Amino acid sequence: MSFIILALVVLVFVIIYQVAKASEYASDLRNPKEVAAETNRTMAWLFVAMFVLGMWGIWECHRMMMPYMLPVSASDHGVNYDSMLEVTVIVTGIVFFITQALLFWFSWRYQAKEKTTAFYFPHNNKLELIWTTVPALTMAILVAIGLKHWFKMTSDAPANAQVVELVGKQFNWVTRYPGKDKALGKRDFRLISDAKNVLGQDWNDRANHDDIINETGELHIVKGKPVKIVIGSRDVIHSVGLPHFRLKMDAVPGITTTLWFTPIVSTKEMKAITGNENFVYEIACDQMCGNGHYSMRGTIIVHDTQTQLDAWLLMQTPYYTANKPKPEATPAEGEAAPANPATTTDSTKTISMR
Ligand SMILES: [Cu+2]
């Protein structure tokens, strides 16, 4: 099938080439002035056709893309972001249409004709002033609106914000919630152990003892309540990408970055909006971070009420409870003292070496 299509395309090109060559030979026999005038007319009308087809193509492309667009923004910042995008697309769209229409209309209207001569028009200060200041002012207004929203997005989170930590590692996200003390305990990368201490929590800091960790990267938040995400990375640079909330922030090893927003659409509501019973908010990794990058997906659950979130938190066991270091074993009476771990390791080594 693809061979036939390819052969057809080649054939069409050959035909066009042959027709062009034949008409070239034919024009040699005619009056050159007449030929030039006819070519000019054809070209002028082709410009009109090009404009109409081009505009239709642009319209169709956008129409076909619509079903793949993201649903309404699920965060307050995202609403501002979407409105800016809309205004920018409308303003630039109008300018694009007008300038393109003029460009193609000029080509058609002022096509070369025997009796018309070119008008010498080298310079016009008024015109230059207009086409410099109008776009400059428009851009300045768009930038000013952008800065206003940017300052809000990057400002400090409100004091009543829920605080959650989100840490990236090759290749998944880990979330951490403070317990009753409302504080996240200290972390130290030297204490990290995949089996027993996934985030390297310092057990000497008692604030760590009630922290809840979710190793599958579930981020539970509440509709209408600001959330501050404290972002970190265990290995390489990742990036927290929240497409439904229109937000993104890098996760850099050794540096703490933050992000805050207020979710305005709960998971349940978004299921109704999208008509998709299986809808889940996604945490994507927006930074190519290694061969498992594609699979680095966390989820956000936006609860309708604080009670629902509290109920979920109550069901979780603090990480420390399950992974706390075993107290020093004291040998019970009558039992042999456990072998010194160092000696055991050494003897194993010696055996394997033999
Ligand atoms: Cu990543």
Tens digits of per-residue pLDDT, 156-184?
999 999 999 999 999 999 999 998 888 88
314 CA to middle of ligand 1, Å?
30
Cite the DSSP H helix spans in the chain.
Answer: 2-28, 32-65, 76-109, 125-153, 267-274, 306-315, 319-323, 341-353
- CB atoms under 10 Å from CB of 247, counted, come to 20
287 CA to middle of ligand 1, Å?
6
296 CA to middle of ligand 1, Å?
6
Mean pLDDT score of the chain? 87
**Tokens 């889940």 found at:** 280
- Name the band, by pLDDT with cuts 50, 70 and 90, for residue 302: very high
Among 172-176, 275-279, 319-323, 328-332, name the one with the lowest average pLDDT.
328-332
- Name the band, by pLDDT with cuts 50, 70 and 90, for residue 319: confident
Residue that wins the pLDDT comparison between 194 and 107: 107
175 CA to middle of ligand 1, Å?
14
**Tokens 């492309």 found at:** 61
* The pLDDT of residue 200: 84
- Name the band, by pLDDT with cuts 50, 70 and 90, for residue 354: very low
Alpha carbon 9 to chain centroid distance?
Answer: 38
Alpha carbons 152 and 155: distance in angstroms, whole number: 5
* The pLDDT of residue 332: 53
pLDDT surpasses 90 at 341: no
Residue that wins the pLDDT comparison between 302 and 207: 302
189 CA to middle of ligand 1, Å?
18
Nearest CA to 217 among 175, 155, 271? Answer: 175
- CB atoms under 10 Å from CB of 120, counted, come to 5
260 CA to middle of ligand 1, Å?
20
* The pLDDT of residue 331: 53
CB contact at 8 A, 199 and 177 = no
What are the beta bridge partners of residue 193?
197
290 CA to middle of ligand 1, Å?
7
Assigned token pair, 126: 């008024």
* The pLDDT of residue 167: 93
pLDDT surpasses 90 at 142: yes
Alpha carbons 294 and 121: distance in angstroms, whole number: 57
- Helix 125-153 and helix 76-109: axis angle, to 10°? 160
Nearest CA to 315 among 214, 228, 164? Answer: 214
Among 32-46, 104-118, 328-342, name the one with the lowest average pLDDT.
328-342
What are the beta bridge partners of residue 162?
227
Residues 6+ positions from 190 with CB-CB distance below 8 Å: 200
* The pLDDT of residue 92: 92
229 CA to middle of ligand 1, Å?
17
Nearest CA to 166 among 150, 153, 177? Answer: 177
248 CA to middle of ligand 1, Å?
13
Secondary structure (3-state) at 67: helix
Radius of gyration over every alpha carbon of the chain, rounded to an integer in angstroms: 33
**What's the CATH number for 162-323?**
2.60.40.420
b vs e for 181-197, b when ≥16 Cβ sit within 10 Å of the residue's Cβ? eeebbebeeeebeeeeb
161 CA to middle of ligand 1, Å?
26
Averaged pLDDT for residues 23-38: 81
Residue that wins the pLDDT comparison between 188 and 149: 149
Residues 6+ positions from 169 with CB-CB distance below 8 Å: 233, 234, 235, 238
